[in-house]
Amino acid sequence: MGRGAPSSNPPPWRRLLRYALLCALLPPWGTSEANEQLAEFPPRGWNSYDSFSWIVDENTYMQNAEILAEKLLPHGYEYAVIDYLWYRKYVDGAYTDSYGFDNIDEWGRPFPDLQRFPSSRIDKGFSQLANKVHGMGLKFGIHLMKGISLQAVNGNTPILDIKTGKPYVEDGRQWTTRDIGLTHRTCAWMPHGFMSVNTDIGAGKAFLRSLYQQYADWGVDFVKVDCIFGTDYSPKEIITISELLAELDRPIILSISPGTEVTPALAKNISQHVNMYRITGDDWDNWKDVSSHFDVSSSFAAANKIGAIGLRGRSWPDLDMLPFGWLTNAGVNQGPHRQCELTSDEQRTQIALWSMAKSPLMYGGDLRHLDNNTLSIITNPTLLKINHYSINNMEFHHVYSERTSKEDKHSSRFISKDLVHVPKIDGVSLGLTACSDDKANGWYMFSQHGKSDHICRNYGMQDDKNISFCLGKTIPLLTSDDINVHNEEYQTKFHLAIMDSDDACLDASGSQRRTSSDSKFPMFSRCRWHAMQMWELNEKGNLISSYSRLCATVESNNKGVVTTGAVARAWIATGSKGEIYLAFFNLDSMSRKITARISDLKKVLGSTFIRKDTCSCTEVWSGRNFGRVEEEISAVVKSHGSMVFEITC
């Protein structure tokens, strides 16, 4: 490398200097509660979603909170979070995207379902529950959807001005919820539930201010705002919420999700406004979901996003919850009824990656059924130490491996479902990223005599010729079920349809929540007049979604034969006392012997950490002491398993 060439792997002294500068740059808040530094370490806790979906009630929540305080709080798991739809009545006809079952107050704000949360009858809030949780030494968290509910907009309620305690008035008139709801920006997977708020007007900000002040009054310590990131990217609303939280006297952690199609480029202008941000879709208990996290976590580590400046403190890329123990299924009206389908080895692999990547650790299983094996996995002291205190966390690319056994049929039992099949475009993946990302360039309009225009992009080479991906450009037609969208807004925009179909248009966001392992496959549905299906092509060659303002990318799915490097992965980090952490991960369906050379560790970490010719190491999961290691560390790792070494040189 030339003297002036930038390094993609800065030496440890430079990383330490950057870490020190980060600490110096963080605002010098005082010791008061309102000024405490938020998320100094990746947050830990329990969330109700994986075990209760949306039907958790006060009794089961408190039972889990008590066990959290007793068994996990000593290990840093301090947040007890009620996940989504706590304001929905649990009655016949109510489900994830049902309409008309939510409790909405006179200001258009949700309040807890009084049947499921009887203590909320005192103040139509969570203050009683939060007080009990605080009394256990825990912190209280809730899940929120972005913006405002369709039910509140249709109710056309006044908006509370918290400064006067009266309806919000501006420009001589009283504003209502119908004035602020963006009906063309509904949540893609909950269109009958919530939509974005217009934050460009005072009334929109006043509504959000009344929401978050109310949550602070309830004693909330943590909010998880959903349908606001990834393919449902709403940057103005994220920044507005962050600014409103910064105004409050109460410190509140801001977590945003989901993370489908998230890249470091997309997070670049958002991470400083939050404390946690999901970088994957929903993570469930199958191996394909776990293994899909390796590439994305590596990219965020390489971009130096781990522990970067965030809202009132730091921010952390979030790999989603730990779906271990006793669980339910996604999106059902049912509580925990089955065991986690990950093997013990797969669970160890998951928490080892989460710890090495310094992801927040949110346990998802029903704590009333917490067994000793699961408890030992999620409270391993060395992994928790790595998760909080290590630095220089990154993927280590200098590993060598070879198979040592035949295929393990049990470990590859999960068969992915081809959820979407579109003729003639197999092998092509569409994704979304920030328009500043170089991957977003290269789209062009292609016109052919006798045919309509097409929007195309080259994505590969075959026989020395470009391979192009094209979709038909069509002008959208207004349908009877589309409302409140002005024709002039879409004069320069178009649908993108499959070329051999009259009614299959590209959606910029899925109609249901996507999991971590869902492939980046184009999603098509009935053509309709909606921002999610509107696109525009600019002069820079960016294909821009009108819904999220993200730009489309395309690449080939035909990766060929899986390489050794893809199935044998490794991460490294360093500790406060000079120790080195090295984690081996075997993503293969067979056992593999994985090897790392001390000389390669020295190249990456430098002589600051490897000062002698010999090192000693201990494997974390087994406790086995490998003794003195002079040239290499080598071990056989079981299928879908991991080994974590603590090395002293």
The encoded tokens of residue 471 equal 């979709």
Cα–Cα distance between 335 and 546 in angstroms, integer?
38
551-565: average pLDDT = 61
Q: Is residue 17 part of a domain?
A: no
Give me the chain's average pLDDT, please.
Answer: 87
Q: Find the helix packing angle between 344-356 and 381-389, rounded to 10°.
A: 30
Task: Read off φ and ψ for residue 504, nearest 5 degrees.
Answer: -145, 100
β-strand 313-318 against 276-278: which pairing, if any? parallel
Cα–Cα distance between 109 and 486 in angstroms, integer?
27
State the residue range of the domain holding 301. Answer: 44-389
Claim to verify: residue 544 and residue 573 sit in the same structural domain: no
Claim to verify: residue 631 and residue 601 sit in the same structural domain: yes
Cα–Cα distance between 199 and 207 in angstroms, integer?
9
Q: Which carries the bigger pLDDT value, residue 260 or residue 239?
A: 239
Are residues 133 and 140 in contact, defined by beta-carbon separation less than 8 angstroms?
A: yes
pLDDT tens digits for 363-383?
999 999 999 999 999 999 999
425-435: average pLDDT = 79
Claim to verify: residue 232 and residue 343 sit in the same structural domain: yes
With a cut of 50, say whether residue 144 has pLDDT above it: yes
- pLDDT for 409 equals 55
pLDDT tens digits for 163-181?
999 999 999 999 999 999 9
With a cut of 70, say whether residue 578 has pLDDT above it: yes
Are residues 270 and 235 in contact, defined by beta-carbon separation less than 8 angstroms?
A: yes
- pLDDT for 602 equals 92
The share of the chain scoring above pLDDT 70, in percent, equals: 85
pLDDT tens digits for 276-298?
999 999 999 999 999 999 999 99
CATH number for the domain spanning 156: value is 3.20.20.70
pLDDT tens digits for 316-349?
999 999 999 999 999 899 999 999 999 999 999 9
With a cut of 70, say whether residue 136 has pLDDT above it: yes
Task: Read off φ and ψ for residue 16, nearest 5 degrees.
Answer: -65, -40
Greatest mean pLDDT among 33-37, 390-394, 412-416 lies in 390-394
Claim to verify: residue 160 and residue 289 sit in the same structural domain: yes
521-546: average pLDDT = 84
Lowest mean pLDDT across 8-17, 311-320, 599-608: 8-17
With a cut of 80, say whether residue 359 has pLDDT above it: yes
Claim to verify: residue 552 and residue 600 sit in the same structural domain: no
The encoded tokens of residue 163 equal 């400064």
Q: Which carries the bigger pLDDT value, residue 416 or residue 586?
A: 586
Q: Is residue 241 part of a domain?
A: yes
Domain stops at, among 337, 361, 389? 389
Q: Indicate the pLDDT class of residue 65, thresholds 50, 70 and 90.
A: very high
Q: Is residue 31 part of a domain?
A: no
Global confidence as pTM = 0.89
Q: Indicate the pLDDT class of residue 416, thresholds 50, 70 and 90.
A: very low
- Which whole-number Å values give the CA distances from 525 to 301, 487, 504, in the listed order? 35, 21, 5
Nearest C-alpha neighbor of 361 from the set 370, 352, 369:
352
Q: Is residue 12 part of a domain?
A: no
Claim to verify: residue 497 and residue 626 sit in the same structural domain: no
Q: Is 364 exposed, middle or buried (0-12, 13-18, 19+ CB in 10 A)?
A: buried
Cα–Cα distance between 244 and 239 in angstroms, integer?
9
CATH number for the domain spanning 625: value is 2.60.40.1180
The encoded tokens of residue 104 equal 């909405």
- pLDDT for 473 equals 85
Q: How many domains does the chain have?
A: 3
Q: Pseudo-torsion of CA 26, 226, 235, 30, nearest 10°?
A: -20
Q: Is residue 514 part of a domain?
A: no
